[in-house]
């Protein structure tokens, strides 16, 4: 019964992923509406010194930046020890937002094809104003109305699921270097009853979403996260040969988690040894990683017209990349077991490469992270996907990552790396704390390549000069 249902759902998802023509919405007019919406719904975001924020203050006793209501999130300092690591000790600011929010996509079948209800959403940190977000993107503060905004459309489908079908419902982590133990509930709900479409919402097939994933900064991070969780799995596909059995992969993860020796201690922001307040922002002494900035936001077309808040701002564009290969004809990606201080279990599965290349501009290649050179030196004909995607625009100011999928030879494994099938990653997404947001985002892109094909990729996939997107 259950297995049958699972296989059926997987086949319906595959059908939607190949349904470009049978869609309810025309993609060209969707793009025009997106452009039009960006013209009249936007946020004006102005950088202001942190100490000029009106709603936020740093408490001098514990060095934590808090909202005056005590709600939303805080920015605090942490001191990290990772015994035996290449960088065994550092300190840094980090966002603490312990509430579990909801990122939800509503699905419904039209003419036999599953569609996703997607939202135009402006976020203050977006480099381009509006991006395409899940149906619902609600922090707990949002839906308990701490900031007095209006009700979140469609939220009830996710809170009361008795009349609907749950396709997936799992808590997933966010950036473990920027968030302390943050989890959001990623949900996909299928409804069969009629759904009224509110302005700014559109029904898209997975094929259309996949096509949009080939354009920079269109599908927002939360949408990529939920899309990555789609259960494209079934018993038949799982029987294909993978390099490692699931038992062996889980044992590898258990080993890493059991033996890593990480200590994270809270430390006041103004006592961090490697960070300085320059009168406006907290920055790393070597001007690397990110800055903690203040912003004043004026929004048009959002629930609340005006507010200010701290954000993290980028120092250079990130790079996330999977090496991909075929082993005995079966597609695999090279997955890294990566330590990030904000993860509940410290270790999660990450892309082959995840870094800010600018940080290594002056470093000898021997000091580069593993496989960074393989990705940056790759022959353009081996690049299957190349687009820049935005990180979440509610907390991050213009933070973007180049996403690359590079076909490679079956390089030998390394204690921290394993070849896994995309299906094995997908299986783990039924559970929390296995696959990090960067790997999930790339998994969504990988599925897009599989259904749309690399031919749709408009970017000349040249070997990227280091730090090209800075």
Q: State the residues that interact with a copy of itself by CB under 8 A.
A: 1-6, 100, 161, 166-171, 185, 231, 235, 238-242, 245-248, 250-251, 254-255, 257-258, 344-345, 430-432
Instruction: For strands 262-267 and 64-67, give the pairing.
Output: unpaired
Nearer to a copy of itself, 158 or 368 (CB): 158
Min dist. Cβ of residue 2 to a copy of itself (A): 5
Residues 167, 82 contacting (CB under 8 angstroms): no
d(CA 390, CA 219): 8
Q: Which residue, 16 or 45, has its beta carbon nearer to a copy of itself? A: 16
Nearer to a copy of itself, 172 or 451 (CB): 172
By beta-carbon proximity to a copy of itself, the closer residue of 150 and 239 is: 239
| Minimum separation from the CB atom of position 325 to a copy of itself (A) | 18
Closest to a copy of itself by CB, 16 vs 172, is 172
Q: Please identify, using beta-carbon distances, which residue of 48 and 191 lies nearer to a copy of itself.
A: 191
Pick from 345, 344, 372, 347: nearest CA to 357 = 372
Query: H-helix or E-strand containing 16?
Result: helix 2-17
Least Cβ distance, residue 246 to a copy of itself (angstroms): 6
How many Å apart are CA 213 and CA 115, to the nearest integer? 16
Alpha-carbon gap, residue 205 to 350, rounded angstroms: 27
Shorter beta-carbon distance to a copy of itself: residue 3 or 306: 3
What's the CA dihedral at 59, 138, 98, 309 to 10 degrees?
A: -20
Write out the H or E segment, with its range, that includes residue 407.
strand 400-407
Neighbours of 196 (CB within 10 A): 7
DSSP state of 110: E
Tell me whether residue 16 or residue 242 sits nearer to a copy of itself (CB atom). 242
Q: Name residues whose C-beta falls within 8 Å of residue 2's C-beta, 6 or more positions apart in sequence.
A: none
Minimum distance of a copy of itself from residue 347's CB (angstroms): 11
What is the separation, in whole angstroms, between the first and last Cα of the chain? Answer: 52
Query: How many other CB atoms are found less than 10 A from the CB of residue 309?
Result: 22
- For residues 109 and 190, which CB has a smaller minimum distance to a copy of itself in the complex? 190
In the complex, minimum distance from the CB of residue 245 to a copy of itself, in angstroms, rounded to a whole number: 5
CB of 265 to a copy of itself, least distance (A): 14
Which H/E stretch holds residue 43?
A: strand 42-48
CB 209 within 8 A of CB 21: no
Instruction: Retrieve residue 113's tokens.
Output: 């094809």
CA distances from 398 to 129, 237, 367 (A): 10, 39, 28
Packed helices 437-452 and 221-228: angle between N→C axes, nearest 10 degrees: 70
Report, in Å, the least distance between residue 338 CB and a copy of itself. 18
Closest separation between CB of residue 93 and a copy of itself, Å? 24
CB of 169 to a copy of itself, least distance (A): 4
């Amino acid at each position: 019964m259950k297995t049958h249902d699972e296989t059926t759902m997987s086949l319906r998802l595959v059908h939607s992923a190949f349904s470009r023509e049978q869609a309810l919405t025309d993609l060209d007019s969707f793009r025009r509406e997106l452009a039009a919406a960006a013209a009249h719904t936007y946020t004006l975001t102005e950088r202001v010194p942190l100490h000029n924020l009106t709603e936020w203050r740093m408490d001098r006793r514990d060095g934590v930046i808090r909202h005056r209501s005590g709600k939303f999130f805080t920015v605090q300092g942490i001191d990290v020890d990772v015994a035996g690591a290449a960088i065994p000790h550092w300190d840094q600011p980090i966002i603490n937002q312990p509430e579990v929010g909801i990122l939800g996509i509503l699905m419904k079948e039209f003419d036999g094809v599953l569609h996703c209800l997607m939202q135009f959403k402006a976020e203050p940190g977006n480099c381009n104003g509006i991006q395409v977000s899940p149906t619902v993107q609600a922090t707990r503060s949002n839906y308990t109305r701490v900031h007095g905004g209006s009700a979140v459309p469609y939220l009830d489908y996710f809170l009361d699921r008795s009349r609907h079908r749950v396709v997936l419902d799992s808590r997933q982590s966010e950036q473990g270097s920027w968030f302390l133990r943050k989890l959001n509930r990623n949900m996909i709900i299928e409804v069969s009853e009629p759904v009224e479409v509110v302005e700014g919402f559109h029904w898209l097939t997975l094929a259309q979403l996949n096509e949009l994933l080939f354009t920079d900064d269109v599908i927002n991070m939360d949408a990529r996260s939920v899309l990555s969780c789609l259960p494209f799995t079934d018993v038949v596909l799982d029987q294909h040969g993978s390099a490692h059995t699931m038992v062996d992969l889980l044992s590898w993860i258990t080993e890493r988690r059991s033996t890593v020796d990480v200590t994270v201690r809270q430390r006041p922001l103004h006592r961090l040894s490697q960070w300085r307040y320059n009168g406006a922002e907290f920055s790393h002494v070597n001007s690397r990683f990110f800055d903690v900035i203040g912003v004043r936001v004026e929004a048009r077309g959002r629930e609340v017209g005006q507010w200010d808040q701290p954000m993290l701002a980028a120092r250079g564009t990130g790079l996330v990349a999977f090496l991909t290969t075929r082993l005995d004809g079966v597609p695999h990606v090279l997955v890294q077991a990566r330590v990030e201080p904000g993860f509940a279990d410290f270790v999660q599965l990450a892309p082959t490469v995840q870094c800010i290349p600018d940080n290594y501009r002056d470093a000898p290649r021997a000091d580069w992270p593993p496989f960074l050179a393989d990705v940056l030196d790759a022959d353009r004909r081996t690049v299957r996907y190349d687009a820049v995607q935005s990180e979440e625009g509610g907390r991050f100011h213009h933070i973007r990552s180049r996403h690359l999928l590079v076909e490679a030879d079956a390089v030998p494994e390394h204690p921290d790396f394993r070849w896994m099938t995309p299906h094995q990653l997908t299986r783990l997404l039924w559970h929390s704390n296995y696959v990090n947001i960067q790997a999930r985002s790339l998994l969504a892109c990988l599925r897009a390549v599989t259904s749309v094909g690399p031919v749709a990729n408009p970017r000349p996939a040249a070997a990227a000069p280091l730090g090209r997107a800075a």
